Structure 1
Amino acid sequence: MFVERAYIRPENRTQEWPFTIPAVDRLATDGLEFNAPVTMIVGDNGSGKSTIVEAIAEGFQLDSRGGRASRPPRSETVLTALGEVIELETTPRGARMLRGPRLQKKGFFLRAETAFEMTENLGGVPGYWDENTAEMSHGEGFLAVFRAMFQEPGFYVLDEPESALSFTSCLHLVALMDELAESGSQVVCATHSPILASLPDADIIEVDEHGMQRTPWEELQLVTHWRRYLEEPASYLRHLLD
């Protein structure tokens, strides 16, 4: 583990966005403790999960646009509103990594919005991956990035990595995240995939209009809706198609 808790000092809390998001408001009130090597932050679009994981990445000095911990942020990158005020309580291991030379920092932030650009432009670039991911499908390119970038123990932040992945590819990513946890890494992942959230022993944080709370996988709204939909699609579609 590298990070034990994320929090916001009371004097840095405002009444403006993103603190108007219930999950961010709960983060500002209670903080967020990390109790397992893999933390899944699960919620619907607009629930605040991506806002939170992006700020956590910034708190660990990862470029909010995505990339390796050992690379300096691009000159045009600015901190997000939450990233400017979030603070992380690190373990001694995490503190040593943050204090050390940037080249010794191990970790990666993958966000769906910029990952496609990375697969197009970083294949063959020293320090990234050898495959020409520009010639692969988006799903194949994502898996190549995961395999290349997630090899060393470090702090990994993922924002909806399932966006380009098929069912089978999601299973491969679950296996890779399990390997990362076993190797001594820490993973924080925002997702609305019931497959990724099913990783055994992951700590699941559900974010919704009520804030955020720890929820067993089988009780997630996400899982409940998918089960009902697969059993009877018409019960959902008739409200949209009539």
Structure 2
Amino acid sequence: MLTQRGLTAITLNREKITAPGEYPFNIPALKNLSTLQLHPKVTYLSGENGMGKSTLIEAIAVACGFNPEGGSLNFTFSTRASHSVLHQYIRVARAAVRAKNGFFLRGESFFNVGTNIEELDKEGIGPRVIDSYGGVSLHEQSHGEAFWSLLVHRFSGNGLYILDEPEAALSPTRQMAMLSRMHQLIGQQSQFIIATHSPIVMAYPDSIIYQLTENGIKKTSYTETENYKVSHRFINDYKNMVKILLEDV
């Protein structure tokens, strides 16, 4: 039986909320949310745009001590404070065995992480930070290459990895390779929490998938997610689907 490590659940402290009709408490993801159980290997947040995936995963990351703009636990830079106050209402339940490593990936601010790494290395204090990311400046690589360097070089065993739409940087082939790399890290006692639209990224079999809808959050199976069903239908009947999509244009 797998020993639970890292995070076991997150709880929304609803009794502290004084303005439930205001953002971020009015987003669909928080309707009726009390406690969300987390899988020891992979937990996915799936759903349409605007349902609150990024807001919720950001709050989980900040509640765990990560910088709102991303990075590892020792990143403290701030370019623009855009995160919500939701993390102040999130209570994180941890297993007895805690992760020793971790990273919060936000695609929209990953550039800022690369800049901060360069600034830290210019100070010349201690080993070069970039060496743990493959040794090549993240700004000298494409967005996809930079994220792949992060996944291959910076991520290691016994880690907690919180990823917001990682597929934005990766081709379908690299998304499949990401699953393989995840499996390696999970075998080394790592845990992932991922918000994604990608049916490829979401395909890890030993996981929990939560679908975020207008009515709140519900646990679902892989083939019942909207992302899978829409992608499956399009790929298997793309000519007819394109015809339908374009006929009224």
Report the TM-score when normalising by structure 1.
0.86
Instruction: Give the secondary structure class of the aligned counterpart of 1:70.
Output: coil
Structure 2: how far apart are the matches of 1:79 and 1:114? 12
Matched residues in 2 for 1:111 and 1:137: separation? 16
Equivalent in 60, 66, 81 of residue 62 of structure 1: 66
Q: Find the partner of 1:41 among 22, 42, 45.
A: 45
Q: Aligned-pair distance for 1:234?
A: 4.6
2:117 equivalent to 1:113: no
Task: Name the aligned partner's letter for residue 205 of structure 2.
Answer: P
3-state SS, counterpart of residue 105 of structure 2: strand
What is the correspondence of 1:1-242 to structure 2 with a 5 Å cutoff?
Answer: 1-13=5-17, 14-27=20-33, 30-72=34-76, 74=78, 77=81, 80-94=84-98, 106-119=101-114, 122=117, 125=121, 126-128=128-130, 129=133, 130-238=135-243, 240-241=245-246, 242=248
- RMSD, aligned CA: 2.2
Q: Deviations over 1:113-142 (max 9, x none)?
A: 111343466369433421233222221111
1:101 maps to: none
- Choose 1 or 2 for highest CA Rg: 2
Unaligned runs of 5+ in 2: 122-127
The amino acid of 2:215's aligned partner reads H
Counterpart CA distance in 2 for 1:112 and 1:148 is 18
TM-score by length of 2: 0.84
Shift of 1:70: 3.0
Q: 1:144 to 1:31 in 2, by over 3 A?
A: same
Identity rate, percent = 32
Q: Note the C-alpha offset of 1:238.
A: 4.3
CA distance in 2, matches of 1:75, 1:118: 10
- CA deviation digits over 1:74-109, x for unaligned, max 9? 496575221121110111223xx6xxxxxxx52100
Q: Distance in 2 between matches of 1:221 and 1:193?
A: 10
Alignment: residue pair count: 231
Describe the superposition over 1:8-59 as per-residue Cα deviations: whole angstroms up to 9, x where unpaired: 22322322122212212232xx211113311111112111111111000011
